[in-house]
Chain A
Amino acid sequence: MSLTDQLLAQNTVKLDSKIPAGPMADKWNSYKDNMKLVNPNNKRKFKVIVVGTGLAGASAAATLAELGYQVDAFTFHDSARRAHSIAAQGGINGAKNYKGDGDSIHRLFYDTVKGGDFRAREANVHRLAENSVDIIDQMVAQGVPFAREYGGLLDNRSFGGAQVSRTFYARGQTGQQLLLGAYQQFSRQVGLGGIRLFNRTELIDVVVIDGHASGIVVRDLVTGELQSHAAHAVVLATGGYGNAFFLSTNAMSCNVTAAWRAHRKGALFANPCYTQIHPTCIPQSDDSQSKLTLMSESLRNDGRVWVPTNPNETRPAHEVPENERDYYLERLYPSFGNLAPRDISSRAAKRAVDKGLGVGAKKNGVYLDFADAINRLGRDVVEERYGNLFEMYERIAGENPYEQPMRIYPASHYTMGGLWVDYELMTNIPGLYAAGEANFSDHGANRLGASALMQGLSDGYFVLPYTIGNYLAPMLNKSIPGTDHPEFKAAEEAARLRFNGYLSAGGTKSPDYFHRELGKIIWDYCGMERTEEGLTKALSDLPALYEEFKTDLRVTGSGENMNQTLEKAGRVDDFFQLGILMCKDALDRQESCGGHFRAEYQTEEGEALRDDENYCHVSAWQWGGDAMKPNLNVEKLEFEEVHLATRSYK
């Protein structure tokens, strides 16, 4: 009996993925044909809370409001336009086959399942590929100024892990343009009264009554006031947890609090160890650095990655002769070359730097060289494609990439793990949904480039508006608990105690200090390469640091007005608990797959070695009352369409 089957027999929570019957390509249509509907005139009788206004949240809120539901939307930002979806640079995949290069829904589905190293749920991925086509149409209708060719048709480029050109882009600011498109659609509904917007308001707790998600408790960041909001359903579109590493390409405020508070109320957290390290970020320059900046993967279309063959190389890059350069991605993965998937490219960079071949003053990067592209295409074309990225690089690194190669190194960028959801994107708590990066379902153990924007918009525009109706329909004209219910009062009281606790901790160190130390432990032991020894060490270091956090934290100021130190304390507290779970999960998964690389499990060539016999499952963790004692539940992954195979990008 395989480990997966043994674990399955021990599940304490029933994990029904609700995958519709029938052939893969018909499942989503068959779901839509059979789901329950809410009459247009009855939709206004239902209230839906949407937390987060990034791509998934804004598109879900706008669409639900268009349909007629009452929507309350929450963001901790000052405006719904700020969410970190905005920083995505390179593009969004869509299986349009506009290039006639053999793309299709099936191929995008296949690439995504394979890219995820066979740890995603097939049916969800197929639906994502189907929706990708509608997303492009929808965003063009919203006025997103995608790049075009001279004939006026849409332009495409290719991205890592794909052999076709299916990536639509708007200069190096695709995320910005898509988010603004969704934000404008969202704003229209705010103006029309379909959405009530609560800005500078952060989720503090999820309220579950009689097993159903009944609302949330939030904190007004300007006044410190705690408020309860009741609804028929709650959507968490609150992003990923990459800031657990402290240094990451996430925005400073990205945090896990919403997902984590839901987890503590019973929602299972799936595959927390699946984190993505993006291969092309600007290397750390000094110890005071607060974040890392991504350089779009699209740069790998024209940039060539290399390191000098001599570890003691001191000459500037352009003086190093060709035969003393190692274009290691082209050498190791000839058919994908510089466009090998992210996990593979990241580890290859790490191996080069670990061998002492790194470049730059700290020898902590590899070159991404555009000299050939500039010779081949001319500087104008390169500037047209990547001009704003080159400028950004120069502002940060102080070097001109037209004249000398960029220096890049991998950094934490995206988290594939997240709240466990079924086919309807509902967590195991009825009425509580998770969308976008906050859920776990579509990217398996590794996300392909230009797929995050696609998934956020697929969930928000084309999945939730259907599946939420299916949940709400039977609740018509039934009353739901109001905010005067004792559970709301209890959640408010718990939140009050929690924040008062941070204010009165009376220690000496700032929340940032603890975040930085926490991040170092997670990066060192649960980063690009993990070992049993390292993870065991992390699991003794983290609780010790967490204890110190509880006793030696200092939060200045009060809880009655804007206090960013206090906000940070709450977020760091949740990162500690999550960090412990990440390490537990990484230790438990005794195989390598995608972004989870256990040094003990690798091929002779140093590639990830999966164990499909024992680990072809989703690890969904249940809060056990103590961060160190989570309960494991599993969902077995079945592959009907794409046959389990070792990934090869050679």
Chain B
Amino acid sequence: MSHNLKNITLKIWRQDGPQAKGNFETHIVDEITDEASFLEMLDILNDKLIHDGKEAVVFDHDCREGICGTCSLMIDGQAHGPQRGTATCQLHMRQFQDNAVITIEPWRAAAFPLIKDLMVDRSAFDRVIESGGYITADTGGAPDANLIPIPKPIADAAMDSAECIGCGACVAACPNGAANLFTGAKIAHLSRLPQGQAERFSRVESMVETMDDHFGSCTNHGECEAACPKEISIDVIALMHKDYRKAKFVNRKDLARK
């Protein structure tokens, strides 16, 4: 049965823009039902702020079903908060106790410049995908879908990494601000499938190097896997590295043939 949580203290990061100085602002939520989601608590707070003539706290959110990857809050130092395998928007207040003090910050990573308050710019992820995170198959020329059977375990494994929602928790959780889990997940998804073989080695080379242009380096902390709301395995990073090394030989040999 539901009950009401009392006296929740929120310490929320406020910052007007990328160049402005930021600070924590404290707000008290006197009472809230534990059925409410974490973001609904922020909605209620924002409504109160507007009522008091103050600016609402800016934060990214959209589907509130844990699938679009828009929400991005560092809650008590954990990307997406305390519940494992759960995006911020799916976190409910029943995970907290009366008198809780909750610190809310934006993703903090050099590759994700701050826009305002809790909102950051994750466009660097799009740049990584644009550099090779696709299979080239222009509309119209596709063969019958059942032409190439894909063993179920392969399709399932591809799906496991394709589940990435692109939220950036992995980068935010990483002490180096690395994007290896994100990039590795896309590479593992596409390189496992027969359709992804043609571009397998050009893809990995291009994506890894674009990633390195924007993000920090991986030093195997494993924080990314722990923070991932889709629980994507760190194995994808090993797969990526293996293919990247191989690509340096394969791609060179192909060039030499020209």
Query: Chain A interface (Cβ within 8 Å of chain B)?
Result: 59, 62-63, 66, 77-84, 86-87, 96, 98, 134, 136-143, 145-154, 170-171, 173, 175-177, 180, 183-185, 187-188, 190-191, 197, 199, 222, 251-253, 285-286, 288-291, 293-294, 361, 391-392, 395-396, 398, 461-462, 465, 508-510, 512-513, 554-557, 561-565
Considering the chains assembled together, what is the distance between the CA atoms of A210 and B146 in angstroms?
49
Name the B residues within 8 Å of A177 (CB-CB). Answer: 159, 162
A190 touches B39 (CB 8 A): no
Other than A81-B129, A556-B50, A565-B56, give 6 A-B pairs with Cβ distance below 8 A.
A79-B125, A96-B146, A137-B145, A140-B142, A146-B145, A150-B152
Name the A residues within 8 Å of B1 (CB-CB). Answer: 361
Binary per-residue interface labels of chain B (33-70) against chain A in the complex, 1 for a CB within 8 Å, 0 otherwise: 10111011001101101110111101011111111111
Considering the chains assembled together, what is the distance between the CA atoms of A409 and B196 in angstroms?
41
Considering the chains assembled together, what is the distance between the CA atoms of A586 and B56 in angstroms?
36
Binding site of B, secondary structure by majority: helix, strand, loop or mixed?
A: loop
Interface centre among B32, B35, B83, B94 (most CB of A within 10 A): B35
A194 vs chain B, min Cβ distance (A): 11
28 contacts between A and B (CB under 8 A): A78-B60, A81-B129, A86-B63, A136-B145, A137-B142, A137-B143, A138-B137, A143-B135, A145-B159, A145-B193, A148-B151, A148-B152, A154-B145, A170-B162, A171-B159, A173-B67, A173-B163, A175-B67, A176-B165, A185-B139, A187-B133, A222-B115, A251-B63, A290-B39, A293-B64, A510-B50, A554-B50, A556-B53
Residue of B at shortest CB range from A144?
B162
B54 touches A185 (CB 8 A): no
> Does residue B138 face the partner (Cβ distance < 8 Å to A)?
yes
Closest 4 CB pairs of A and B: A152-B149, A191-B130, A184-B134, A141-B142
Query: Would A143 and B130 be within 8 Å (CB), given that A137-B144, A288-B44, A293-B64 are in contact?
Result: no
B62-114 interface (Cβ within 8 A of A): 62-70, 83, 85-86, 90, 92, 94
Interface centre among B90, B130, B158 (most CB of A within 10 A): B130
B90 touches A79 (CB 8 A): no
Considering the chains assembled together, what is the distance between the CA atoms of A98 and B131 in angstroms?
35
Name the A residues within 8 Å of B2 (CB-CB). Answer: 285-286, 361
Interface centre among B55, B63, B116 (most CB of A within 10 A): B63
B81 vs chain A, min Cβ distance (A): 12
Query: Would A562 and B130 be within 8 Å (CB), given that A62-B139, A361-B1, A361-B2 are in contact?
Result: no
Residue of A at shortest CB range from B144?
A137
B62 touches A77 (CB 8 A): yes
Considering the chains assembled together, what is the distance between the CA atoms of A476 and B12 in angstroms?
55
Considering the chains assembled together, what is the distance between the CA atoms of A565 and B159 in angstroms?
37
Query: Would A82 and B51 be within 8 Å (CB), given that A137-B143, A180-B162 are in contact?
Result: no
B54 vs chain A, min Cβ distance (A): 6
> Does residue B214 face the partner (Cβ distance < 8 Å to A)?
no
Considering the chains assembled together, what is the distance between the CA atoms of A252 and B64 in angstroms?
8
Query: Would A82 and B70 be within 8 Å (CB), given that A96-B145, A143-B190, A145-B189 are in contact?
Result: yes
B105 vs chain A, min Cβ distance (A): 17
A385 vs chain B, min Cβ distance (A): 13
Query: Chain B interface (Cβ within 8 Å of chain A)?
Result: 1-2, 16-17, 32-33, 35-37, 39-40, 43-44, 46-47, 49-51, 53-56, 58, 60-70, 83, 85-86, 90, 92, 94, 115-116, 119, 121-123, 125-126, 129-131, 133-146, 149-152, 155-156, 158-159, 162-163, 165-166, 189-190, 193, 195-196
Name the A residues within 8 Å of B67 (CB-CB). Answer: 86-87, 173, 175-176
Name the B residues within 8 Å of A138 (CB-CB). Answer: 137, 139-140, 142
Considering the chains assembled together, what is the distance between the CA atoms of A512 and B40 in angstroms?
12
A252 touches B61 (CB 8 A): yes
Considering the chains assembled together, what is the distance between the CA atoms of A143 and B161 in angstroms?
12
Considering the chains assembled together, what is the distance between the CA atoms of A538 and B161 in angstroms?
48
Residue of A at shortest CB range from B125?
A79
Interface centre among A96, A145, A171, A512 (most CB of B within 10 A): A145
Name the A residues within 8 Å of B49 (CB-CB). Answer: 556
Picked from A141, A392, A462, the residue with its CB within 8 Å of the CB of B66 is A392
A143 touches B193 (CB 8 A): yes
B69 vs chain A, min Cβ distance (A): 7
Residue of A at shortest CB range from B193?
A143
A152 touches B150 (CB 8 A): yes
A286 touches B33 (CB 8 A): yes
Picked from A154, A290, A565, the residue with its CB within 8 Å of the CB of B37 is A290
Name the B residues within 8 Å of A392 (CB-CB). Answer: 65-66, 90
Name the B residues within 8 Å of A145 (CB-CB). Answer: 155-156, 158-159, 162, 189, 193
B160 vs chain A, min Cβ distance (A): 9
B195 touches A84 (CB 8 A): no
Name the A residues within 8 Å of B134 (CB-CB). Answer: 142-143, 184-185, 187-188
A521 vs chain B, min Cβ distance (A): 19
Considering the chains assembled together, what is the distance between the CA atoms of A154 and B145 in angstroms?
8
